[in-house]
């Protein structure tokens, strides 16, 4: 929906909500796709969201459930929290289990248990099974609903069996299993459509099925789906039994989320920080990171303190301090961004770590020479002092080399500590480039002080 149209719908929805004209509200929104309704929902305040979801629930439960599925789990929870347990359970049991799990686990413990008790037996069981798996693994994000039949079934029986099972949302494949439910092959619905009715599945199935295990990390699942151009990937347990399927729409959510997280972690930001959060919530989320930043930013002042005497004697040095520090930070950020993204999209494994480091060092030296010579020459031109030009230039060259070294090492170092390679990397880098840059610059200046003045 175009922005202008959306804006109009939102303001009308608000008006109807605040006038209590719920029938007009329903008429306004009833034909919208759940994704659009979720979008509208995000622009409403808490009280309005509650009225909208109740209106949807009363006229069309399915629609209310679909809208909640489309929302971020964090948003869905803030709405659900205000509904009676029975109503939550009623909505949750018609919501796909893989959408229910992330919502439920954000609810307060007692509320979650109450909802699971109030839900019908089958959906409760399915949700509990998903919740048994670690967060951010294939087991947690998979859907337990898929088509699977014995490999000896023929095409015609397979179609009948699938019809009896009913419509499985976003199912594009039929999986073939053996008598022990082990995954043996996959048949696309297209193949099924084009095959003779009496052909057994095992004659048409692709035997080389790409699958993941329940405990596979969701980023790895996403990488497999992306590399092999899949629209769904089967999930097997430790005995190679087929237990679920991760569909590509969930993979897109994972990729989007991980990309945002990479960027957020790089600049020391809580990964749940959102533009819609209240200022107070965002302050609470950002403060711990800013306090960490305060620590990393407090190192370089101690370096400068050590050279106070030099600066006192030749105060022009203070003018160049921000430049030397900033250039190191900028070049280091470039290296970190490349490393973080290429680690994230799987280009760089330990396999090529050494090669990457060597390359970045060469780039650091190359760019350092060019930028250092320009800065040095400009300083010389401005101040007419050759030694000043040399000191500034050499400090920039060394700092760009340090930036490349530290910028390549930080992501790998964080990974070695089993932390996210992006986590706080820009702050850590700035700590080093500011401190080492200023140390080099002021150290060189102290050494050549006699020639500078």
Q: Enumerate residues 155-184 that contact a second copy by CB under 8 A.
A: 159, 162-163, 167, 170-172
Is 142 strand, coil or helix?
A: coil
Alpha-carbon distances of 225 from 141, 156, 206, 220, rounded to whole Å = 14, 29, 16, 9
352 touches a second copy (CB under 8 A): yes
Q: Quick check: 291 binds a second copy (CB under 8 A)?
A: yes
Q: Find, among 66, 79, 78, the residue nearest to 30 by Cα.
A: 66
Does 229 interact with a second copy (rule: CB under 8 A)? yes
Judged by CB under 8 A, does residue 8 bind a second copy? no
- DSSP 8-state secondary structure symbol assigned to residue 350: G
- Applying the rule CB under 8 A, the residues between 231 and 290 that interact with a second copy are 231, 248-249, 251-253, 255-256, 259-260, 262-264, 266-269, 273-280, 282-283, 286-287, 289-290
Q: What distance lies between CA 26 and its chain's CA centroid?
A: 34
Q: Of all residues in the chain, what percent are helix, strand and coil, respectively (each to 5)?
A: 70, 10, 25
CB of 431 to a second copy, least distance (A): 9
The gap between the terminal CA atoms of the chain, to the nearest Å, is 66
Q: Does 6 bind a second copy (CB under 8 A)?
A: yes
Nearer to a second copy, 8 or 128 (CB): 8
């990171």: which residue's tokens? 289
Write out the binding residues for a second copy, residues 178-217 only, by CB under 8 A.
189-190, 192-194, 208, 210
Contact mark string toward a second copy, 36..65, x via CB under 8 A? ---x--xx----------------------
How far apart CA 5 and CA 384 sit, in angstroms, is 62
How does DSSP assign 304-322, residue by residue? Answer: HHHTHHHHHH-THHHHHHH
- Let me know: does 75 contact 41? Beta carbons within 8 Å: yes
Number of residues that bind a second copy (CB under 8 A): 117
**154 scored as a contact of a second copy (CB under 8 A):** no
Listed ranges 55-63, 101-109, 125-133, 292-300: which one lies at the site for a second copy (CB under 8 A): 292-300
7 binds a second copy (CB under 8 A): yes
φ, ψ dihedrals at 315, nearest 5°: -70, -15
Read off the DSSP letter of residue 241: B
Q: Indicate the residue among 179 and 208 with the shorter CB distance to a second copy.
A: 208
- Rounded to a whole number of angstroms, the minimum distance from the CB of residue 238 to a second copy is 17
Residue 381 in contact with a second copy, rule: CB under 8 A: no
- C-alpha neighbours within 13 Å on the C-beta side of residue 92: 39
CB-side neighbour CA atoms (13 Å) of 229: 0
Q: Which of 214, 425, 427, 446 binds a second copy (CB under 8 A)?
A: 427
> Among the candidate windows 49-57, 101-109, 114-122, 430-438, which touches a second copy by CB under 8 A?
430-438
What tokens were used for 14?
A: 């608000």
- For a second copy, the binding residue among 41, 80, 141, 304 (CB under 8 A) is 304
30 binds a second copy (CB under 8 A): no
Closest separation between CB of residue 201 and a second copy, Å? Answer: 14
């Amino acid at each position: 929906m175009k922005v202008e149209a959306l804006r109009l719908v939102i303001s009308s929805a608000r008006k109807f909500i605040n006038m209590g004209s719920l029938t007009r509200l329903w008429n306004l929104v009833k034909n919208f796709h759940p994704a659009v309704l979720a979008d509208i929902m995000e622009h409403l305040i808490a009280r309005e969201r509650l009225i909208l979801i109740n209106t949807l629930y009363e006229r069309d439960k399915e629609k209310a459930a679909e809208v909640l599925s489309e929302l971020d789990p964090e948003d869905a929870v803030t709405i659900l929290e205000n509904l009676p347990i029975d109503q939550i359970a009623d909505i949750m049991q018609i919501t796909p289990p893989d959408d229910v799990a992330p919502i439920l686990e954000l609810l307060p413990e007692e509320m979650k248990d109450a909802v699971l008790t109030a839900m019908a037996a089958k959906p409760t069981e399915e949700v509990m099974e998903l919740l048994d798996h670690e967060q951010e693994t294939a087991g947690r994000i998979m859907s337990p609903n898929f088509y699977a039949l014995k490999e000896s079934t023929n095409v015609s029986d397979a179609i009948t069996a699938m019809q009896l099972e009913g419509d499985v949302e976003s199912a594009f494949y039929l999986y073939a299993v053996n008598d022990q439910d082990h995954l043996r092959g996959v048949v696309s619905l297209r193949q099924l459509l084009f095959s003779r009715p009496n052909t057994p599945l095992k004659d048409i199935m692709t035997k080389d099925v790409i699958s993941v295990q329940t405990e596979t990390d969701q980023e790895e699942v996403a990488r497999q789906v992306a590399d092999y151009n899949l629209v769904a990937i089967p999930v097997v347990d430790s005995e190679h039994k087929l237990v679920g399927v991760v569909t590509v729409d969930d993979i897109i959510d994972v990729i989007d989320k991980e990309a945002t997280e990479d960027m957020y972690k790089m600049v020391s930001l809580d990964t749940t920080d959102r533009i819609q959060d209240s200022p107070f919530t965002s302050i609470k989320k950002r403060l711990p990171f800013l306090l960490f930043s305060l620590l990393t930013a407090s190192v370089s002042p101690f370096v400068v303190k050590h050279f106070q005497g030099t600066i006192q004697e030749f105060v022009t040095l203070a003018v160049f301090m921000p430049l030397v520090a900033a250039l190191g930070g900028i070049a280091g950020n470039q290296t970190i961004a490349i490393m973080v993204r290429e680690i994230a999209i799987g280009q760089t494994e330990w396999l090529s770590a050494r090669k990457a480091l060597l390359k970045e060092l060469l780039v650091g030296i190359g760019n350092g020479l060019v930028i250092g010579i320009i800065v040095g020459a400009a300083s010389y031109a401005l101040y007419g002092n050759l030694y000043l030009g040399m000191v500034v230039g050499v400090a920039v060259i060394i700092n760009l080399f340090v930036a490349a070294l530290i910028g390549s090492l930080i992501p790998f170092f964080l990974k070695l500590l089993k932390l996210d390679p992006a986590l706080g990397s820009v702050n850590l880098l700035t700590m080093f480039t500011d401190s080492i840059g200023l140390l080099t610059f002021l150290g060189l200046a102290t050494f050549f002080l006699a020639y500078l003045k």
